[in-house]
Amino acid sequence: MAEAHQAVAFQFTVTPDGVDFRLSREALKHVYLSGINSWKKRLIRIKNGILRGVYPGSPTSWLVVIMATVGSSFCNVDVSLGLVSCIQRCLPQGCGPYQTPQTRALLSMAIFSTGVWVTGIFFFRQTLKLLLCYHGWMFEMHGKTSNLTRIWAMCIRLLSSRHPMLYTFQTSLPKLPVPRVSATIQRYLESVRPLLDDEEYYRMELLAKEFQDKTAPRLQKYLVLKSWWASNYVSDWWEEYIYLRGRSPLMVNSNYYVMDLVLVKNTDVQAARLGNIIHAMIMYRRKLDREEIKPVMALGIVPMCSYQMERMFNTTRIPGKDTDVLQHLSDSRHVAVYHKGRFFKLWLYEGARLLKPQDLEMQFQRILDDPSPPQPGEEKLAALTAGGRVEWAQARQAFFSSGKNKAALEAIERAAFFVALDEESYCYDPEDEASLSLYGKALLHGNCYNRWFDKSFTLISFKNGQLGLNAEHAWADAPIIGHLWEFVLGTDSFHLGYTETGHCLGKPNPALAPPTRLQWDIPKQCQAVIESSYQVAKALADDVELYCFQFLPFGKGLIKKCRTSPDAFVQIALQLAHFRDRGKFCLTYEASMTRMFREGRTETVRSCTSESTAFVQAMMEGSHTKADLRDLFQKAAKKHQNMYRLAMTGAGIDRHLFCLYLVSKYLGVSSPFLAEVLSEPWRLSTSQIPQSQIHMFDPEQHPNHLGAGGGFGPVADDGYGVSYMIAGENTIFFHISSKFSSSETNAQRFGNHIRKALLDIADLFQVPKAYS
């Protein structure tokens, strides 16, 4: 095939007269341009490394300091207090560049100025790091800012006023502190009190006291030592033991999904939508490589850690028998595409030039129009990534370690990301509630073999132009992929645009070589393994019940009139709904971020508290006045907000206990307390989906440009997974998952309880609602 010949720079044949080389001028041109592009990226990285290293200084400020020192010397003012003369005396004598007194004086002043400049940068950065350790602002009531916090905010703005790059603040972020064992155990016992009767609680108290007095001091010393040495005492262990060492399927159990805009539609043309979206994604990657993306800032002044963004693209999870590894490449110039059981390699560049949206549309249309059938074993190949990790690792070693299978698999694993072209159409129809759930199911697991679950993310395209993402969880948490998705959807809607017929703007280049089919040689034994993985994945997917809905009566606008945080409002409503659904309370997980610390990821907020259960029980009794119920609700909301803030500021419970447990395993120390804590099931796992991390448009002018968030599978077999997005002022999206195999759970039933709980709490405050 023509494209195959263009993929190599030269060919050779052995003849009786020697070796005959045949060079491909076009291929060599591409190799040359790729090399130039690679060197450009290296130079950009070096430049950014220098600018990042001297922040908040700059080359200009360095020159200013030198000029000030030289100028003061001409005015016979020695600002160095004799240091310049000392430096001058230390310079080597003799002929050469130092032979004239003027040259030696200028060089001495340049050395002194550089020292002053570097010292100033060090001082400013250490001061900024010290200021970022202050978290008192988080615990102050809204609208009641203390003078100390005002002064702190002014200092932060002063030290970070220059335009920062993406990773500018990384070395200035404080390390995640190790909490005191006594504080962690006290908060743990407080969190389980509403879940245990007196006898069970007394037993747990004894276990905790024994652990605190005998085992914990030794474990804590090792953990403190690690916190001094490592950038973050949790994150590397969390990634390895929670994600990479997991041997169960990634699909449903670990990966999560993200939905498209659901109330507006830019085009119905599948290939055109992909052209704009993928062009926007590579534009984002270019900004990421050049560090041109602004770091996310809390309150607009407190920087969040950005390290998770490094592995967004060009990343694949490689299966292993005992543990997986994350393979991250510095660059990738193609995407891997799946359509109708065939795999393709689609180049994103022509030489050093990124393909324009209309060119990408043409390439995807070529794939959609390709009539070739799948090769034997190719159609369900991706089911290997949906099944057990050990089986996939063994199959990879046995059948994909050489020949054309290895080359084809490398084309997928070394791709920037994976693209799945589906033949079905899904979208949200407000008149058909089930449409959102069907859309979510398609994103969560598809048909179990049309997603490559190992890639950092799979871009899923439906026949009607609707999109979505399925993201692997080990490399980063949901806010990171959400940042990319907001940029991409905003760029697609407000910057790239479409023609009246729904195609990308501009004329494509028909001379581009078409995408390349990946070639496989999959033996019968491998096909049997693929089918086995598919059956495992299908049983898992068929067992998932997903219920997604849009809650229309109100959003955060009216919740704020209740004088509480929207997140606390929803979490307490979930407690009320769960009690109505199951008749009991359960251990509840809410994900909170710790990105105010270097390399921070998440912490757990234990949302089921004594205060929230007291409110729920009072609601169930039905004999309390609204005033009493409001008072109980406010106490529960205040408690929840305080716990959330503690988790964000490094004073959580579960990550500390998790790390103590790992240290005990490394040391071979047995702890009944830690063993019991780490084995407790999370029957209600919840997460709020972030939004508006970047402001590409005014939501008041474009109120319908709303994504519906995303969701994940249930953590416990007899539990619920609940994801929610408080989408603007007037609506909330919920994604609820459970398992059909559990007789105790029903996602739709629980969703109805959530609706009622939200409305019942709003009624306590006599908030006017927009429902009939």
Q: Which residues form the catalytic set?
A: 473
Return d(Cα 278, Cα 354) in angstroms, integer.
11
Q: Are 223 and 231 in contact (CB under 8 A)?
A: no
Return d(Cα 421, Cα 20) in angstroms, integer.
43
Residue 115 token pair: 């020292």
Q: 523-542 in b/e burial notation, b at 16+ Cβ within 10 A?
A: eeebbebbebbbebbbebbe
Which helix H or strand E contains 527, and what residues bound it?
helix 524-542
Q: 457-493 in b/e burial notation, b at 16+ Cβ within 10 A?
A: bbbbbbebbbbbbbbbbbbbbbbbbbbbbbbbbbbbb
Q: Are 596 and 644 in contact (CB under 8 A)?
A: no
Mapped onto helix, strand or coil, the DSSP state of residue 726 is strand
CB atoms within 10 A of CB 371: 5
**CA-to-CA dists, residue 532 to 384, 401, 521, 526, 732, angstroms:** 9, 20, 18, 10, 40
Return d(Cα 545, Cα 737) in angstroms, integer.
6
Return d(Cα 93, Cα 97) in angstroms, integer.
10
Encoded amino acid at 620, one letter = M
Among residues 679, 602, 643, 669, the alpha carbon closest in space to that of 220 is found at 669
- How are beta strands 544-551 and 732-739 bridged, if at all? antiparallel
CB atoms within 10 A of CB 236: 13
Which helix H or strand E contains 724, and what residues bound it?
strand 720-726
Residue 101, preceding peptide bond in cis (omega within 30° of 0) = no
Q: Are 97 and 110 in contact (CB under 8 A)?
A: no
**CA-to-CA dists, residue 624 to 173, 282, 611, 765, angstroms:** 48, 58, 16, 14
Return d(Cα 182, Cα 196) in angstroms, integer.
20
Encoded amino acid at 245, one letter = R
